[in-house]
Amino acid sequence: MTFGVFFVDIILLVLTLLALSFGLRLHALLRAGELGRSWQFVVWGVVLLVLREILRLGNQITPIPSFLFIERICDAGFMVLLCFALWRQWSAFDFLQARRRKRTHWNQIAKSIATTSEQESNETKGREGEKEWREQWYRKA
C-alpha cells in the first residue's frame, strides 16, 4: 500500500514539474501586458504545487506532523494565486471587450459623421453641377 502511494506521489510530482515548465514557457511568451502578469501568478501557484508535492513525498519517506500543515498552506496559497490570476485575466478581457464596445461606438459615430459630410458634399456638388449646367444653358441660348 505504501509503495503504491509513493509511486502516485512521484507521478504527481513529475506532472506538476511538467506543468511548471509549460507555465514558464507560456509566461515567457506572454510576458508583456495584463495577460503576462496573470500568468506570473499562475507560475507562482504551480511552484507552490511543486513544493506541496515535494512535502507530500517527504512525508511518505519520513512522516513529520508539521508537513501536513505546510501542505495545506501550499494548497491554500495555490488556490488564492489561481483565483487571483483568473480574475486578472477576466478583468483584462473584460477591459478589452469594453474598449472594443467603446471603439465600435465611436466608429459608428465617425461613420455617421462621415456619411453626413458625404451627403453635404454631394449636395454642394449637385448645386455646383446645376449652376454650371444653367450657366452653359444660358450661354447656348
Taking the mean position of all CA atoms in its chain, how far away is CA 6?
A: 37
What digits encode the pLDDT tens for the residues 56-112? 888 877 778 887 888 889 888 889 988 888 888 888 777 666 666 656 666 666 677
The H or E element containing residue 124 is helix 65-140
Mean pLDDT for the stretch of residues 37-50: 84
